Amino acid sequence: MVSLKGEHVFLRALEPEDLDFVYEIENDTALWSLSDTLTPYSRFTLKQYLENAQQDIFEAKQLRLAICINSGATIGLIDVFDFDIKNKRAGIGILIKDEAHRYKGYGSEALDLLVNYCFKTLHLHQVYANILESNVNSLKLFEHRGFKKIGLKEDWSFDGKHYCNEFLLQRINR
């Protein structure tokens, strides 16, 4: 079994105690463009989500893990979504919540752990990410971790004022 623990971070399943952390992220309107969210989430809805978060990836077609630093503090979330066992592929998304924890290598290490899990434990052939053209830092992160830009989706997302382009990035397990 592949370890979800690195030198500085580890990935773990969501727990009921993560309710406040997930609530803050899901209701931060500045982050809604990253997840195509249009409405806030209630604590009740998120509590139900966390109670069902242990659902098997093969059934749920998605997996959300907490990113924690070695002190145990939760600093972000990393997702596997659109899990497609037939074609052996899935999407990946990552969010480090606070600016204070960004640009320290935590996101790179978390992404490496998750990609390794996807390839070695889930036996996926490829993983992909959808990243807004304006999100230069995320593009750099994924490209530095071996993802390649394979397409540009023009006018893909509407931010309330403008249409935004989105890159499709892909990493194949060779």
Res 40: pLDDT: 76
| Domain map (residue ranges) of the chain | 9-124
Res 3: pLDDT: 76
Tokens 């004022």 found at: 161
> What is the CATH class of 9-124?
alpha beta
Q: Cα–Cα distances in Å, from 44 out to 11, 62, 109, 142, 165? A: 25, 21, 32, 34, 34
Res 36: pLDDT: 66
Task: Indicate the DSSP class of residue 53.
Answer: T
Res 33: pLDDT: 63
Question: Coil, strand, or helix at residue 144?
Answer: helix
Output 115-121 pairs: Cβ under 8 A, ≥24 positions apart: 115/145, 115/146, 115/171, 116/2, 117/2, 117/4, 117/11, 118/80, 118/90, 118/92, 119/173, 120/2, 121/1, 121/2
- Write out the chain's pLDDT in tens, 174 residues: 577 999 999 999 999 898 888 888 887 767 766 666 767 778 788 888 777 776 777 777 789 999 999 988 999 999 999 999 999 999 999 999 988 999 999 999 999 999 999 999 999 999 999 999 999 999 999 999 999 999 999 999 887 789 999 999 999 998
Write out the two tokens for 60: 């749920």
Identity of the residue numbered 31 = L
pTM for the complete prediction? 0.89
